Amino acid sequence: MNVPAAWYLVLGAVLFGIGAFGVLTRRSALIMFMCIELMLNAVTLTFVTFARTLNDIGGQATVFFIMVVAAAEVTVGLGIVVAIFRRRASTSVDELSEMKG
Amino acid sequence: MNLTIPSIHYLAILPVMVLLGASLVLLGSVALVRSRVSNLVATTITSLAGVAALVITFVQWAYVANHGATTTIAHAVVLDGFSVVATGVIAVALVMATLVAHDWARREDVRAAEYQVLALAASAGAVLMTQANDLVVIFLGLEILSIGLYVLAAFDRRRSSSAEAALKYFLLGSFASAVFVYGAALVYGATGSTNLSDVSYFLGANVLLRPGLLYAGGALLLVGFAFKVAAVPFHLWSPDVYQGSPTPVTGYMASIVKVGAFAALLRVLVSALGTQMDTWRPILWALIVLTTLVGASLGIVQRNVKRMLAYSSINHAGFMLLGVWAATTRGTAATLFYAMTYAPLVVATFAIVTLVGGRGDDHHDVDYYRGLARRQPWLGGALALFLLAQLGAPLTTGFYAKFVVLASAVDVGGSALAVIALLGAAIAAFFYLRWIVALYAEGDERAIAHHVAVPRATAVVIVLGVAVTVVFGVWPGPLAALAQHATLLFTP
């Protein structure tokens, strides 16, 4: 069965949408974090699909860059979450309201 | 299948190599040397790397002036006058911010070596953004810059607001990066390349029958940038992050992120998507109106000076966007000039805020500034000068910077926009002036009279800031000519 490229693009867009929706609505830092990863993976899927349709290796190479960046973000992000968790024993962003105005 | 390794023009990437190299050397010595790497050593290495990067830009400038602009590494990185000048600005901001951080680290008893490792890496990312000629390289530069700054924002472990600022910055920053890179993917799908020159060529040679994909991609790129430069309505993170981060970090962040992001934004909108100008201009118009007006209005109600400066920096971002909106050579030069004068100014302003902040870095209410200029005329006077420059008072760099961006917008029929931006500046003037009045006010019972010590390194930064602001304020010709020349050597 031949799956049209458009399906992959739509899947990418839907995944990206779910991720973006999650970041904007969920209140746990860890879940928001996972949603950002989901968004990045939707982007890689889109890049690979376009690389196939355009018959261009550049889009596939880009995926590696995005993966490396995502890994670096995970390291730093988890470090920050752990630093906060040590202090408060909670990862909910609602409790982080020291600054307002 | 044949893999060809692209040729590398090392002079073009030398500043990035020096900054990243110094960062790695410092990181290696922190990890390997048994005794603690002293703050002085770390500061020296960082300053030397910054000065070296600045010297290299002179060599690069001579090269570009003689041989013209070039691209290298498969056209992904560009060496042109624009990138050279922007790199120089980042190098200056790095050196100034490093000196401020040195005194701050000593006062707060923080290990400065790791701080400088991250500051160097972040500056390398910003330089890469100014040189990027490919959406993927912009993304990489953006991430190198941002990831360094996320950690720097969390650097003050004694204040919990520092970690809070870091988490907010991290979540919204990486959200913005994901949006940006999705935009890059859609532009790639629409035009067949992520290279800015190729995108520009493709759009010049073809008419897209169904431009939806390109428009969506362009819009997402714009949203990503708007987050990074804190344009309204994507500014919500900025006051909290400015307030929570250690003060020297805030100053550094305010300067190099603006330079890097605006350089990349100019390349994407003006050179790659220049043919689609009629589509993105109205969106940018709305962004500028919101950014200048809302940024200024929300600043008025702030008591905390770091939040006030955050809104002030939002207001400045609106002005820098004016030059982008003009999308002409003059507009590009105007935005570059604005960034050149704003970067040292904001680092120097935050240097004084760092000093007044005192040990613990939490004396940031505007009341702490009451009568400062009476007790310490030089320090208070310098701060008043910086605020006047941010306000756009004549005989300071701020005046000419605002003038050139407004003129470039009026040139292409943006009179209404210029008037709205001026209105924003007038509203912003209110909180700058309130702060200046506090500086010269009589001390009353609320005044927390304390003598603000001015360590040597920070004094150098403040003097440098005053010198740049006054000299180029009275005599903006050379700097403006430099921006103009740099833009003429802008690779399309």
> Is B184:B217 a contact under the CB 8 Å cutoff?
yes
Please determine, for residue B49, whether its predicted confidence score (pLDDT) is greater than 70. Answer: yes
Is residue B3 predicted with pLDDT exceeding 60?
yes
Mean per-residue pLDDT, B185-199? 93
CA dihedral B16, B19, B21, B23 (to 10 degrees): -140
Is residue B91 pLDDT above 90, yes or no?
A: yes
Average pLDDT, chain B: 92
Instruction: Tell me the mean pLDDT in the region B117-123.
Output: 96
Model confidence at A98, pLDDT cuts 50, 70, 90, reads low
Could A99 and B166 be called an inter-chain contact, meaning their C-beta atoms sit closer than 8 Å? no
Instruction: Give the bridge partners for B70, in sequence order.
Output: B79
B304 DSSP β-pair partners? B365
Instruction: Mark residue A82 as left, alpha or beta (left: phi above 0; alpha: psi -120 to 50; beta: remaining).
Output: alpha
Smallest Cα distance from B167 to chain A, Å: 6
Distance CA B270, CA B257 (A): 19
- Please give the C-alpha separations between residue B446 and each of B306, B358, B450, in angstroms, as whole numbers: 20, 17, 12
Q: Which of B168-177, B248-257, B395-404, B477-486 has the lowest mean pLDDT?
A: B477-486
Handedness of CA B241, B246, B250, B256 (dihedral sign): negative
Instruction: Identify the pLDDT of residue B491.
Output: 59
CA atoms within 13 A on the CB side of B459: 6
The residue type found at B267 is R
The pLDDT value given to residue A9: 94
- Check residue B159 and give its pLDDT: 85
- The C-alpha angle B248, B254, B255, rounded to 5 degrees, equals 95
* Angstrom distance (rounded) from CA A57 to CA B359: 54
- Domain ranges for chain A, please list them: 29-89
The total number of residues shown for chain A amounts to: 101
For the segment B162-172, the average pLDDT, to the nearest whole number, is 92
Which are the contacts of B1, defined by CB distance < 8 A and separation ≥ 6?
A: none
Could A99 and B170 be called an inter-chain contact, meaning their C-beta atoms sit closer than 8 Å? no
**Which range has the worst mean pLDDT, B40-44, B306-310, B451-455?**
B451-455
Is 80 exceeded by the pLDDT of residue A64? yes
What's the confidence (pLDDT) of residue B69? 86
Instruction: Classify residue B2 as left (phi > 0), alpha (psi -120 to 50) or beta.
Output: beta
- E strand or H helix at B77, and its extent? strand B77-79
Locate B238 and state its tokens: 């900025």
Give the model's pLDDT for residue B208: 83
Q: What is the DSSP letter of B70?
A: E
Could you tell me what percent of chain A has a pLDDT over 70? 90
Q: Are B402 and B476 in contact (CB under 8 A)?
A: no
Mean pLDDT of chain A: 89
Contact A87 B239 (CB under 8 A): no
Alpha helices in B212-246 (DSSP H): 212-228, 237-244
Contact A101 B301 (CB under 8 A): yes
Predicted confidence (pLDDT) at residue B308 exceeds the cutoff of 90: yes
**pLDDT tens-digit series, residues B439-490:** 998 865 555 557 888 899 999 999 999 999 999 999 998 888 888 888 876 6
The CA distance from B135 to B271, in Å, is 12
For residue B134, the cross-strand partners are B195
Contact state of A62 with B136 under an 8 Å Cβ cutoff: yes
Which of A61, A35, A48, A34 is CA-nearest to residue A5? A48
User: What are the phi and psi torsion angles at A92 (to 5°)?
Assistant: -75, 130
Across B236-393, where does the E strand assignment appear? none
The number of C-alpha atoms within 13 Å of B75 and in the hemisphere containing its C-beta is 10
Q: How far is B244 from chain A (nearest CA, A)?
A: 8
Percent of chain B beyond pLDDT 90?
73
Q: From chain A, pick out residues whose CB is under 8 angstroms from the CB of B192.
A: 54, 56
H or E element in which residue B349 lies: helix B329-357
The per-residue pLDDT for B441 is 87
Asked whether the predicted pLDDT for residue B21 surpasses 60, the reply is yes
* Band (B34; pLDDT cuts 50, 70, 90): confident
- Whole-angstrom Cα distance, residue B428 to residue B359? 30
pLDDT at B50 > cutoff 80? yes
Residue B178 has its nearest CB partner, among A43, A54, A59, at: A43
